[in-house]
């Protein structure tokens, strides 16, 4: 058995040095050259870091675009989905229905069938940073009223922040909620 045990231990040691030591260090070195310097890209408002571009935040005030519901309450050190199944009656009739009612209450004039499902279902990570353009625009009237600006201004802001499909070809269009809300705050009133 010595034929195998000793080489096994030695090869483990040297592979640990190469794979677990050198490889991530090399990637960390390259990461320094990236936009976020490997620490994660941040978003600033008035010179203060208000969040990470890739991670969603909770927005509950009427004057902000709301993010999607989160099973993790947007805790960025414990992201998770709801893991509720598609036929879970309890979840659908309490949680999802409750979200629909809340949305309708805060957005008078919007009818149920106009609400896209993403606004009442929890995301996979609990930290979804995005909305679809539809999911953002449906909130425009509420935001315009709360901020005393025109609805056109809000809609234009959504259009300006919409990222189309990759190369115009692949995947869905999306809007980053945090960047959009920072842009709202930056609007002159």
Partner 1 sequence: MNTEYIGIIFMYLATIALAIPLGKYIAKVFKGEKTWLDFMAPLERLIFKFSGIDPNREMNWKQHLKALLTVNFIWLIYTFFCLLFQGRLPLNPDHNPSQTPDLAFNTALSFVTNTNLQDYSGESGATYYTQLYVLMFLHFVSAATGIAAMMVVFKAMKDKVTDKLGNFWDYLVKSITRLFLPLSFVVAVILAFNGTPTSFKGKDTIIGLQGDTIHVSRGPAAAMIAIKQTGTNGGGWFGANSAHPFENPNYLTNMVENSSIFLISVALVFALGFYLNKKKLAWVIFGVMTAGFLIMVFPSVIAEVNGNPGIAHLGVSQPGGSMEGKEVRFGPAASAMWGVTTTVTSNGSVNAMHDSMMPVSGMAQMFDMMINSFYGGVGVGYLNFYIFIIIAVFISGLMVGRTPEFMGRKIEAREMKIASLIALLHPFIILVGTSIASYVLVHYPNADWATKPSAWLNNPGSHGFSEMLYQYASSAANNGSGYAGLTANNIFWNVSTGLVIFVGRFFPIIGPVAIAGILANKKFIPESAGTLKTDTVTFGVMVFAVIIIVAALSFFPALTLGPIAEHFSLK
Per CB under 8 A, contacts with partner 1 among 126-155 are 126-132, 134-135
Beta bridge partners of 51: 43
Instruction: By CB under 8 A, tell whether 114 contacts partner 1.
Output: yes
Residue of 109, 148, 169, 189 interacting with partner 1 (CB under 8 A): 169
Contact criterion met (CB below 8 Å) for 187 and 149: yes
Instruction: By CB under 8 A, tell whether 186 contacts partner 1.
Output: no
CA distance 103 to 99: 6
Contact criterion met (CB below 8 Å) for 180 and 158: yes
Instruction: By CB under 8 A, tell whether 110 contacts partner 1.
Output: no
Helix, strand or coil for residue 166?
Answer: strand
Q: What is the CA radius of gyration of the chain?
A: 22
Pick 53 or 144: Cβ nearer partner 1: 53
Of the candidate spans 18-26, 139-147, 149-157, the one that interacts with partner 1 by CB under 8 A turns out to be 18-26
CA distance 173 to 9: 51
CA distance 137 to 66: 11
User: Which 28-57 positions form the footprint of partner 1 (CB under 8 A)?
Assistant: 28, 30-32, 34-42, 45, 48-57
Pick 59 or 147: Cβ nearer partner 1: 59
Closest approach, Cβ 105 to partner 1, in A, equals 15
Residue of 123, 142, 143, 161 interacting with partner 1 (CB under 8 A): 123
């Amino acid at each position: 058995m010595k034929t195998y045990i000793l080489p096994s231990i030695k090869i483990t040691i040297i592979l640990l040095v190469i794979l677990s030591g050198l490889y991530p260090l090399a990637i960390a070195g390259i990461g320094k050259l990236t936009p976020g310097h490997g620490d994660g890209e941040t978003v600033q408002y008035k010179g203060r870091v208000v969040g990470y571009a890739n991670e969603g935040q909770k927005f509950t005030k009427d004057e902000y675009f709301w993010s999607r519901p989160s099973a993790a309450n947007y805790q960025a050190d414990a992201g998770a989905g709801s893991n509720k199944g598609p036929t879970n009656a309890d979840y659908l009739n309490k949680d999802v229905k409750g979200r629909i009612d809340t949305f309708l209450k805060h957005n008078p004039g919007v009818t149920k069938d106009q609400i896209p499902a993403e606004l009442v279902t929890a995301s996979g990570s609990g930290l979804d940073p995005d909305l679809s353009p539809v999911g953002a625009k449906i909130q425009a009237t509420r935001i315009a009223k709360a901020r005393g600006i025109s609805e056109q201004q809000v809609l234009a802001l959504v259009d300006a922040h919409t990222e189309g499909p990759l190369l115009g070809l692949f995947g869905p269009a999306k809007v980053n909620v945090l960047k959009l809300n920072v842009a709202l705050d930056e609007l002159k009133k």
